[in-house]
Amino acid sequence: MTKLSQRVYGIIINDHQEVLISDEFRFGLYFRKFPGGGVEKGEGIIQALKREFFEELETSILSYEFLFFNDYYQQSSFDTETQVTCFYYIVTCRDIHKLGKEDYQLPLTEDGEYQKWVRLADLKESNLTFPIDKDALKCLKNKVNLIS
């Protein structure tokens, strides 16, 4: 292992108990994940979260609550020489009613990303591509069940 990568993701839950999911095609691969991305050099985790949401979703984060991070080794799905640590936050954003409105066909076959709302009750680990996202989903569902 020669490189380390930090990534940060935000989970938005709307009033209908739906979660915003990002479908993306990059590096010749289709994948499904939570919105977010890489922490840049010299950037803090929350700063990166806010930047990623502004870049990807054109929205501003109003509040955030820490949910999960992987405290175990995870090799990057894109580079076998990179270890990945991911941080997940439950977030509230401006204008969420504008998010996830664009229609698109799966699987994606050209570079790009789109978002859609998926009922939390219907979202399964197998619907997500990356192992850490699957663990974050388990944590989210446990948290939501404790609250309800």
pLDDT, tens digit, 9 for 90 and up, residues 75-116: 999 999 999 999 999 999 999 999 998 889 888 888 999 999
% pLDDT > 90, the chain: 86
Q: pLDDT digits over 28-57, tens only?
A: 999 999 999 999 999 999 999 999 999 999
pLDDT tens sequence across 56-65: 999 999 999 9
Q: What is the mean pLDDT of the chain?
A: 94
Distance CA 148, CA 144 (A): 6
Distance (Å, whole) CA 93 – CA 61: 4
* pLDDT tier at 133, thresholds 50, 70, 90: very high
85-99 burial code (b ≥16 CB/10 A, e <16)? bbbbbbbebeebeeb
**For 26-31, which contacts have Cβ atoms below 8 Å and span 24 or more sequence positions?**
26/111, 26/113, 27/78, 30/106, 30/107, 30/108, 30/109, 31/77, 31/129, 31/130
Give the whole-angstrom CA distance, residue 30 versus residue 48. Answer: 23
pTM given for the model: 0.94
